[in-house]
Structure 1
Amino acid sequence: MITLFHAPQSRSSRIVWLLEEIGAPYVIRPVSIYRPMTGEGVPDEANPHPDRRVPALDHDGVLVTESIAIVQYLCEVFPQAGLAPLPGDARRGEFLSWIGWYACEMEPALFAGMTGALAGSPQKQRDHEAVVRRLGTALGRAPYVMGERFSGADLLIASALGFGRSAFPASAAFDAYLERCKSRPAAIRGLALDVASGPQGGA
């Protein structure tokens, strides 16, 4: 059985989406978290995440935390979902590269754009421009970052882009990509489940 320890409107929301994409049975265990952007909430002692954050996922006693680890784990354990090239596939390296790029490049650029940190840092400006250029180049070639097929990398990238669209410049390609991803049936179901879990998901 899969149990997702989840706080609504947080990083774990995209894991609800991922679980809907996979189609395996799971349960959502709402937990409270501290939300640094608003200063609200308290950590939940019932949350198995070492830092009492989300997402945290228990799969038959195996604990996996952090979005990129959970995406890689579930895509491998449930290959029938077709969300990632498996180990041994020639495109596995490209998939892992996009996952790593999301965590190491896109997320920092997103928060720099949202917080106004770009104005005082030429290096952050260059990094931000590089993120916009790389994603724009990929979407200029195909509907998803790895081509014609939606993958776990798109789930991470699109969920972040949806959260922080204002951090990046106007782009018809970005907007169309976001709409393609958000309109997937699993994404729609995941959003409904996220909303239904309440404003804070108290313990």
Structure 2
Amino acid sequence: MLTVHHLGVSQSERIVWLCEELGIDYVLKRYDRVPPGRGPAPPDYKSLHPLGTAPIITDGDVVLPESGAIMEYIIGKYGAGRLAVGPEASNFADYLFWFHFANASMLPSQTGAPREGVEESPRAQFMRARSDRAWALVEARLGASAYFAGDEFSAADIIMGFALTTMRVFAPRDLSPYPNILAYLKVIGARPAYQRAMEKGDPQLTPLLS
């Protein structure tokens, strides 16, 4: 049986959301941070895999970390390819770009950027500019397209969603300069599968949709 090991307030919310969108059978096992909130994963979570990071799934003898790998695994094995975009589609490259941009560029740009009001070193200035470029790119995309891969919701939206919402627990960002992102988050927040996922995975957290 597919088991999603969900660390509270973490990237593993993506996997819960994916399973809910696909409507597949899975077991959800929740773990609280120690201390709750922004603390590290508890020892029993870290023991699941040498990386000790979220997300992690188990499926029989399979123990798999990494958001992108897990999402491709679930879509391929349990989702019959649903929510992915195939190479025959005209928006295949768009799907691939945003699916990988989430973890390769968007999240690193946020974790490295200094908080507002903090004196910035040359490296901090570089990281802030990188973060600003990433947000500007997302804003432009969502002004030109309903969803990241095009006209239809896809796994690219799920993997990007965390970067625009819950990641702001750790890297606050005022979204008032980004009207396209705010409009998009209203659409995402209205999805029943997203609402179920957040209620199951992080019932104590009010989704950061504004």
Residues in 1 aligned to 2:100 and 2:47: alpha-carbon distance in whole angstroms: 26
Deviations 1:164-191 (A, max 9, x none): 1842542111111112112111001111
Higher relative contact order, structure no. (Cα contacts within 8 Å, ≥ 6 residues apart): 1
Residues in 2 aligned to 1:79 and 1:26: alpha-carbon distance in whole angstroms: 12
Alignment of 1:110 onto 2:110: yes
1:177 to 184, 189, 192: 184
Tell me what 1:148 maps to: 151
Whether the 8 Å CA contact 1:113–1:167 is kept in 2: the answer is no
Whether the 8 Å CA contact 2:17–2:197 is kept in 1: the answer is yes
Deviations 1:20-45 (A, max 9, x none): 01111100123455579844553216
Structure 2 vs 1, CA of residues 81 and 180 (structure 1 numbering), >3 Å: closer, same or farther? farther
Structure 2 vs 1, CA of residues 39 and 136 (structure 1 numbering), >3 Å: closer, same or farther? closer
Residues in 2 aligned to 1:67 and 1:23: alpha-carbon distance in whole angstroms: 18
Aligned to 1:51, the other structure's residue is in SS state: coil
Residues in 1 aligned to 2:119 and 2:15: alpha-carbon distance in whole angstroms: 29
2:196 to 182, 189, 193: 189
Match for 1:159: what amino acid? F
Structure 2 vs 1, CA of residues 29 and 95 (structure 1 numbering), >3 Å: closer, same or farther? same
What is the CA RMSD across the aligned residues, in angstroms? 2.9
Residues in 2 aligned to 1:4 and 1:36: alpha-carbon distance in whole angstroms: 19
Tell me what 1:71 maps to: 71
Residues in 1 aligned to 2:136 and 2:125: alpha-carbon distance in whole angstroms: 16
Residues in 2 aligned to 1:23 and 1:182: alpha-carbon distance in whole angstroms: 18
CA drift of 1:77 comes to 2.5
Structure 2 vs 1, CA of residues 143 and 6 (structure 1 numbering), >3 Å: closer, same or farther? same
Alignment of 1:167 onto 2:173: yes
Aligned to 2:52, the other structure's residue is in SS state: coil
Structure 2 unaligned spans of 5+: 206-210
Match for 1:16: what amino acid? V
CA drift of 1:149 comes to 0.8
Residues in 2 aligned to 1:187 and 1:47: alpha-carbon distance in whole angstroms: 28
Match for 1:148: what amino acid? D
CA drift of 1:56 comes to 0.8
Alignment of 1:19 onto 2:25: no
Match for 2:128: what amino acid? Q
TM-score, structure 1 length as denominator?
A: 0.81
Deviations 1:110-139 (A, max 9, x none): 224464579433321331232122111211
Tell me what 1:62 maps to: 62
Structure 2 vs 1, CA of residues 77 and 92 (structure 1 numbering), >3 Å: closer, same or farther? farther
TM-score, structure 2 length as denominator?
A: 0.79
1:133 to 123, 136, 145: 136
Match for 2:151: what amino acid? E
